[in-house]
Structure 1
Amino acid sequence: MKTAHARLDQHLRVSEIFYSLQGEADSVGWPTVFIRLTGCPLRCSYCDTSYAFHGGTTIAIADVLTEVARYPVRHVCVTGGEPLAQGDACRALLAALCERRHVVSLETSGALSIAGIDSRVSRVVDVKSPGSGEMDRNHWSNLDLLTERDQLKFVLCDRRDYEWAMGQVTERALASRCMVWFSPVHGRLDPRRLAEWLLEDGLPVRMQIQLHKLLWGEAPGH
């Protein structure tokens, strides 16, 4: 479903707009403009963007597009916080970016419905594991809306999280729906250990390490 003629006079609460390398998912490594929206209803134990929970600046979608146009790239990622907490305004922004022929991805916690998003957007949907402290917030009906353009991401704290995620992938046949990523929590789960578990079990998933953290650590705006 494409959403035509997005309203550019709608406003969003924006924490930051910045230019960096995409550090995760299938567009890792691409120079990308990131639009980080303010606010999130979750409080995951490993959250690295808590500065986006509050504050930010109210900006019209038209002005966001003007800022994005300053950069010489097609890839744009709308993230948070939880961008879908801003509802129709977030969906309008995504549609407007697509209309301008950007390659658009949305990073969402998986706690809110992904329905009604422009079909040209690649939706990167978290599945919250036990270690996140927010497992009960998973909006499982989102799985029925996934397409081959979309991606699922499991962020894992420990072996318990890994075994839980392995069960979800197997029992729900998630790899047949879209690409599935397993990612270790930076500083809590040794990436080499996760790699060894995946090799032992031969799961149909891909492992990722956050490239931006290897390059710039925890600094905001990267």
Structure 2
Amino acid sequence: MINAKLNINEIFYSIQGEAREVGLPSVFIRLTGCPLKCTYCDTEYAFHGNNLMEIDAIISEIKQYDTTYICVTGGEPLLQKNCYLLLDRLVENNYQVSLETSGSINIQDVNALVSIVMDVKTPSSGESEQNKYTNFKKLTVKDQLKFVIGSHSDFDWSVAILNQYHTTAGVLFSPVFGNITPTQLADWILDQQLNVRLQLQLHKLLWGDEKGK
């Protein structure tokens, strides 16, 4: 299983645009495929493709970059069973690893040293029924929940979810790019006195839609 293969959409080096490591140079490993079709998705190009790579080859490619930060993303990376093996290998190679997942797949078997950044699909995504709320209790202080918010009703829904499902993970509120302004979301957070982090997509501020995160 050491040379297990994964369908890789792209591997690239950039500035982390989101979550706790925002602003840090990082390597991104984007896996192909996703079971969801969110209305605000900005990585639809990762839904399809056939580029199988052995895990050894993936590790060899990322070693050319002078950073310890690795983000495994998608699509939905956990859709591929060998993603768990990749995460294990990255941890074994002393990388600081984050995993971006939709939250629609059980995270039980993710390596305990990986920082999970889990989306909670809001109603405007069109996929809120796919949220697996049992995942919440598996998150710890090293992990983060991300709510992508496209309207005030999304905001109210997100607050209700946080009140219903308590978590020790950090909480991120991010505006849907082009739907609501960061100022609007900031005002709503302050009005409710929420202990959440306002998150903007730094990579879009830097490069627009021309370069991924």
The bucket for the TM-score relative to the shorter chain is over 0.9
Is 1:156–2:149 an aligned residue pair? yes
| Deviations 1:86-137, CA, capped at 9 Å, x for gaps | 02x0000001000000000000001111111111100000000000000000
Q: Which amino acid aligns with 2:59?
A: L
State the TM-score, normalizing by the size of structure 2.
0.98
Look up the match of 1:183: 174
Look up the match of 2:96: 103
Match of 1:57 among 51, 58, 77: 51
Look up the match of 2:25: 31
**Runs of 4+ in structure 1 over 4 Å off:** none
| Contact 2:203/2:212 (8 A) holds in 1 | no
Q: Which amino acid aligns with 1:24?
A: E
Question: Alpha-carbon deviation of 1:28?
Answer: 0.4
Is 1:92–2:85 an aligned residue pair? yes
> Identity of counterpart residues, as a percentage?
49
Question: Alpha-carbon deviation of 1:220?
Answer: 4.1
Q: Pairwise mapping of residues 1-222 of structure 1 onto structure 2 (< 5 A)? A: 7-87=1-81, 89-174=82-167, 177-222=168-213
Q: Which amino acid aligns with 1:219?
A: E
Q: Unaligned stretches of 5+ in structure 1?
A: 1-6
State the TM-score, normalizing by the size of structure 1.
0.94
2: CA distance, partners of 1:86 / 1:219? 27
Question: Alpha-carbon deviation of 1:170?
Answer: 1.8
Alignment partner of 1:26: what SS?
Answer: coil
1: CA distance, partners of 2:14 / 2:110? 24
Q: Unaligned stretches of 5+ in structure 2?
A: none
1: CA distance, partners of 2:24 / 2:2? 27
> How many matched pairs?
213
2: CA distance, partners of 1:170 / 1:82? 27
1: CA distance, partners of 2:161 / 2:195? 12
1: CA distance, partners of 2:134 / 2:117? 15
Alignment partner of 1:126: what SS?
Answer: strand
Alignment partner of 1:152: what SS?
Answer: strand
| Contact 1:34/1:79 (8 A) holds in 2 | yes
Alignment partner of 2:194: what SS?
Answer: coil
1: CA distance, partners of 2:157 / 2:4? 40
| Deviations 1:167-206, CA, capped at 9 Å, x for gaps | 11122223xx210000001111111000001011101111
Alignment partner of 2:177: what SS?
Answer: coil
2: CA distance, partners of 1:8 / 1:70? 21
2: CA distance, partners of 1:50 / 1:220? 14
| Contact 2:136/2:165 (8 A) holds in 1 | no
2: CA distance, partners of 1:9 / 1:110? 27
Alignment partner of 1:62: what SS?
Answer: helix
